[in-house]
Chains A and B, each alone.
Chain A
Amino acid sequence: ETGVTQTPRHLVMGMTNKKSLKCEQHLGHNAMYWYKQSAKKPLELMFVYNFKEQTENNSVPSRFSPECPNSSHLFLHLHTLQPEDSALYLCASSQGLKNTEAFFGQGTRLTVV
């Protein structure tokens, strides 16, 4: 069983749809992250949660709405997305926010049509 699991692995949605991405970590970590990886761009941090509290929101549009019900689960709710939102969305977790590595899930490949 991998440490960080993301579902679904692939998602195709229309611009008027509402969908959610799910991330679950089995590592006992306290911090969880959402990253966006677009083609030919560095990873962009979207949100950070530490002990279920959101600590960072990197100017992400409101059509992306995160939810962290507990330290093991993280969701990204999507609605009225744009085609330019098509990307690989990666979830990660770490033990705290300091000098520890982050462990990533396999990502959700999102295509907005």
Chain B
Amino acid sequence: AQKITQTQPGMFVQEKEAVTLDCTYDTSDQSYGLFWYKQPSSGEMIFLIYQGSYDEQNATEGRYSLNFQKARKSANLVISASQLGDSAMYFCAMRERLISSGSARQLTFGSGTQLTVLP
């Protein structure tokens, strides 16, 4: 079964508008971390934002915010005031077993969403 599901292969948004990229995850662990990465055409994976499973507040980093709904196992990325430079692939990822007594697993990535910002 897929651990990370991104159901939107491609999304379009008008410049200056907000956009939400969906991500759902599957884990039986209580302690885990959720990450979003951006991959422009140059190939580099750029870390955007992190949400811990025990964090009570949604994470925010500048124009990025993570809409964390633990009961629904969703961790959607919201980009406000889109810019042309936001056009890229966006990947949701999860790292499980973060408790100190257990060995942590590697980051597992979703299949990505290609975001295109229109002028």
Which residue numbers of A lie inside 8 Å of B, CB to CB? 2, 33, 40-43, 45, 48, 56, 88, 90, 92, 96-99, 101-107, 109
The chain A residue with its CB closest to the CB of B102 is A98
Question: A98 contacts B43, CB within 8 Å?
Answer: no
Q: How far is the CA of A50 from the CA of B49 in the complex (A)?
A: 23
- With A107-B44, A109-B43 in contact, do A99 and B110 touch (Cβ < 8 Å)? no
B residues near A2, Cβ cutoff 8 Å: 44
B residues near A101, Cβ cutoff 8 Å: 35, 47, 50
The chain A residue with its CB closest to the CB of B4 is A42
Question: B109 contacts A43, CB within 8 Å?
Answer: yes
B107 within 8 A of A: yes
- With A92-B45, A105-B44 in contact, do A45 and B106 touch (Cβ < 8 Å)? yes
- Number of B residues, CB within 8 Å of A: 26
* One of A42, A92, A97, A102 near B110 (C-beta < 8 A): A42
Q: List 16 A-B contacts (CB under 8 A).
A: A33-B106, A42-B111, A42-B112, A43-B91, A45-B106, A90-B45, A97-B104, A97-B106, A98-B100, A99-B95, A101-B50, A104-B37, A104-B46, A105-B44, A106-B42, A107-B44
A residues near B52, Cβ cutoff 8 Å: 99
Which residue numbers of B lie inside 8 Å of A, CB to CB? 4, 31, 33, 35, 37, 42-47, 50, 52, 91, 95, 98, 100, 103-104, 106-112
A residues near B45, Cβ cutoff 8 Å: 90, 92, 104
B residues near A56, Cβ cutoff 8 Å: 106
Q: How far is the CA of A98 from the CA of B112 in the complex (A)?
A: 23
Question: B104 contacts A98, CB within 8 Å?
Answer: yes
Question: B43 contacts A106, CB within 8 Å?
Answer: yes
Q: Which 3 A-B pairs have the closest CB atoms?
A: A104-B45, A107-B43, A106-B44
The chain A residue with its CB closest to the CB of B40 is A106
B residues near A48, Cβ cutoff 8 Å: 106
Q: How far is the CA of A50 from the CA of B46 in the complex (A)?
A: 21
